[in-house]
């Protein structure tokens, strides 16, 4: 059966979904229903009312001015464009398409678009109505990019991410706060796009567009980003951005209400297709302003904002958003360089480790080529610091080795790595963390029984407002540890899995996230591991793999793991049914290394670093078998073997097909244990 309602949890921001029917190729929007839903959330309602209060005060101030030319300098809005499903090989094309959309927006919002010339003849039907020009412009940011998010996002190049999992698969990413974000990704059900109404730049919210409703022209077929008629002129972004800036649709469903703009004639219903100017009747003698960007006509037939609409845009941008904009990111960066840390923090222990090796990257900006020398401050007293290589003048990687750890005190050290160029004396820094506290990250999995076969109560209606009774199930975690990382697996057999909302509740009873939120349309069944590091959900029947949840699991970081964890599953539509098969939680935490150790001279590993093959030597006077375990940095065992003891024990360990990185080697001699870290290159 076909369902037109797209489920979104009450924890999501207010979205205005503009949808293309697969049959009529017409836009529709569910604004009223979503607004009613979101206003039930008191946190959202409070923020909404505060922003509207600021907006109304600024709007009244502007309307009281007789000379609108005194609005001040044009507000420049920095933009970042995100293609999570794009191909890096298409970067040049995607950057050009992003700029193409920016050019469209600058023309549309300033009233300088070529097709506004149609207003000359159309205006006779609309006495007293003039076209508007907003006091804003858009630019793609080119400097001071957020670091560590997309390795191909180079300083000096446009703020266009490719393959970056924006917001962990959601439409809000705090790392991109300060930017006007455009998120381009496949959307189910023919959805054109959606936007918060109105939006927050400080929160890192995005206007989200489908792959066929962004930009104009040929697009980038290699990444599946191709504008499709009749929405192939970039006007859908203009429309959705209007919502972000507090513009409602021109139609309201009743002649008794309006859109809050005095010079847009009241109309009841949206207009589709490409009607002639003045041909659609309104609620008064003035006909419908069908060519407004806030109606539903095809891209080719929407070409203007009214003066009242752009005044409303200016009031929201200047009264609410201007203070949220990230400054000085639209002008090219001066020649220079950036330093990036790739594997911080590192865990170490003075009684088991001899060194810690940090991997760093040196990236030049705007043709910079001066020789840059590296130094560090903040290392533990007694440690040695070595850089390899000690300087760079072009893009490359380098390492910082903190040696002689056996002579250092336990503690957490923030080490500042400094690059100093010559002759320009440009200085840049990056901080890394050495957790020299004899701890390790240990991951434990807690699961339900398999084959639970718990029925998920069916919904009782087709509108999405009559959900079934929630199904709940509890996993008890007996261990009390501070959560450093978490993954959750959920296995459900169900037809039409977009009917479902899946929530996970922490034992405190108040911290709740949604891992599944009406995803994957009419597909059947999913067995998904939710991980913040996962990508966008790749839907199938069944849907399997590791993907980012709807709400970030990092919400649970820093909380205690102990207690009853609850999964809640709710079905929002009738007829399609299913069961919860099983679910599990993997919780990673910092735990102390064993305190009972060999003397340092009795236990050695060489070479270190190595390529995955190393020798373990020790002197033992016991008759116990010697057991060697190797764990990755997250505590997962990747090697285990026992050996007959000899007075001068020496064994070669070979880790087959192991990835480069840090590993823990634990040697057990009866009740005694020793742990050392190795680096596999």
Q: Which residues are catalytic?
A: 240
User: For residue 473, is it left (φ>0), alpha (ψ between -120 and 50) or beta?
Assistant: beta
Q: How far is CA 223 from the centre of its chain?
A: 19
Give the HSE-up count for residue 179: Cα atoms under 13 Å, Cβ half-sphere: 28
| SS3 of 124-182 | HHCCCCCECCCCEEEEECCCCCCCCCCCCCCCCCCCEEECCCHHHHCCECHHHCCCEEE
Q: 473, 563 in Cβ contact below 8 A?
A: no
**What's the DSSP call for residue 398?**
E
| Total Cβ atoms within 10 A of residue 29 | 19
Exposure class string for 165-199: b at 16+ Cβ within 10 A, else e: bbbbbbbbbeebbbbbbbbbbebebebbbbbbbbb
Q: 348, 436 in Cβ contact below 8 A?
A: yes
H or E stretch covering 45: helix 42-63
d(CA 160, CA 163): 10
- Give the β-pairing of 483-494 and 526-535: antiparallel
Q: 485, 529 in Cβ contact below 8 A?
A: no
Q: 351, 597 in Cβ contact below 8 A?
A: yes
Question: What are the strands, taking DSSP E only, across 45-106?
Answer: 75-83
Q: How far is CA 121 from the centre of its chain?
A: 46
Cis peptide before 400 (omega within 30 of 0): no
Angle at 236 between CA 234 and CA 241, to 5 degrees: 105
- Give the β-pairing of 626-632 and 661-669: antiparallel
Q: 432, 358 in Cβ contact below 8 A?
A: yes
Of 236, 83, 68, the closest CA to residue 158 belongs to 83
């Amino acid at each position: 059966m076909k369902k037109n309602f797209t489920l979104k949890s009450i924890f999501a921001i207010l979205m205005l979904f503009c949808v293309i029917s697969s049959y009529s190729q017409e836009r529709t929007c569910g604004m009223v229903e979503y607004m009613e839903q979101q206003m039930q959330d008191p946190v959202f309602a409070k923020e909404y009312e505060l922003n509207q209060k600021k907006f109304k005060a600024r709007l009244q101030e502007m309307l009281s001015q007789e000379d609108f030319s005194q609005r001040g300098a044009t507000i420049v809005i920095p933009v970042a464009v995100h293609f999570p499903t794009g191909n890096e090989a298409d970067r040049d094309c995607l950057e050009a398409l992003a700029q193409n959309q920016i050019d469209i927006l600058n023309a549309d919002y300033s009233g300088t678009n070529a097709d506004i010339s149609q207003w000359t003849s159309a205006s006779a039907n609309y006495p007293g109505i003039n076209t508007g020009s907003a006091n804003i412009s858009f630019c793609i940011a080119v400097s001071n990019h957020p670091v560590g998010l997309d390795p191909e996002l180079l300083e000096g190049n446009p703020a266009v991410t490719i393959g970056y999992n924006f917001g962990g698969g959601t439409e809000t990413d705090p790392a991109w706060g300060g930017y006007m974000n455009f998120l381009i990704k496949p959307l189910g059900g023919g959805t054109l796009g959606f936007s918060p109404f109105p939006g927050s730049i400080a929160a890192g919210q995005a206007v989200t567009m489908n792959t066929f409703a962004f930009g104009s022209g040929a697009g980038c077929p290699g990444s599946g980003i191709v504008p499709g008629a009749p929405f192939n002129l970039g006007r859908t972004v203009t429309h959705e951005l209007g919502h972000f800036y507090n513009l409602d649709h021109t139609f309201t469903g009743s002649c008794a209400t309006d859109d809050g703009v005095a010079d847009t004639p009241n109309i009841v219903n949206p207009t589709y297709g490409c009607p002639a100017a003045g041909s659609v009747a309104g609620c008064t003698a003035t006909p419908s302003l069908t060519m407004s960007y806030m109606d539903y006509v095809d891209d080719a037939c929407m070409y203007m904002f009214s003066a009242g609409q752009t005044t409303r845009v200016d009031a929201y941008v200047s009264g609410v958003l201007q203070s949220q904009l990230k400054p000085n990111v639209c002008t090219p960066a001066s020649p220079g360089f950036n330093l990036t840390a790739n594997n911080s923090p590192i865990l170490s222990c003075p009684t088991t480790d001899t060194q810690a090796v940090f991997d760093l990257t040196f990236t030049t900006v705007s043709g910079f080529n001066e020789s840059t020398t590296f130094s560090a401050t903040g290392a533990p007293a007694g440690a040695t610091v070595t850089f390899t290589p000690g300087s760079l003048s072009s893009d490359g990687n380098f390492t910082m080795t903190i040696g002689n750890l056996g002579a250092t005190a336990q503690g957490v050290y923030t080490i500042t790595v400094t690059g100093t160029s010559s002759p320009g004396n440009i200085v840049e820094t990056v901080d890394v963390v050495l957790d020299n506290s004899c701890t390790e990250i240990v991951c434990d999995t807690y699961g339900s029984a398999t084959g639970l076969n718990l029925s998920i109560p069916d919904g009782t209606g087709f509108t999405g407002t009559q959900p079934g009774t929630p199904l709940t199930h509890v996993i008890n975690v007996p261990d009390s540890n501070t959560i450093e990382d978490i993954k959750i697996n959920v296995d459900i057999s169900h037809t039409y899995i977009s009917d479902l909302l899946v929530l996970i509740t922490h034992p405190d009873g108040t911290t709740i996230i949604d891992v599944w939120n009406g995803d994957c349309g009419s597909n059947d069944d999913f067995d998904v591991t939710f991980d913040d590091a996962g990508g966008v959900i790749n839907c199938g029947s069944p849907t399997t793999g590791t993907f980012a949840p709807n709400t970030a699991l990092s919400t649970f970081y820093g909380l205690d793991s102990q207690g009853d964890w609850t999964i809640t599953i709710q079905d929002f539509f009738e007829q399609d049914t299913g069961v919860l098969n099983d679910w599990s939680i993997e919780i990673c935490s910092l735990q102390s290394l064993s305190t009972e150790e060999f003397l340092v001279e009795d236990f050695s590993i060489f070479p270190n670093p190595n390529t995955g093959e190393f020798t373990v030597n020790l002197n033992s006077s016991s008759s116990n078998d010697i057991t060697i375990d190797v764990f990755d940095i997250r505590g997962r065992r990747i090697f285990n073997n026992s050996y007959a003891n000899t007075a001068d024990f020496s064994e070669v360990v070979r880790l087959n097909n192991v990835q480069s990185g840090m590993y823990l080697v634990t040697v057990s001699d009866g009740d005694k244990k020793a742990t050392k870290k190795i680096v596999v290159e």
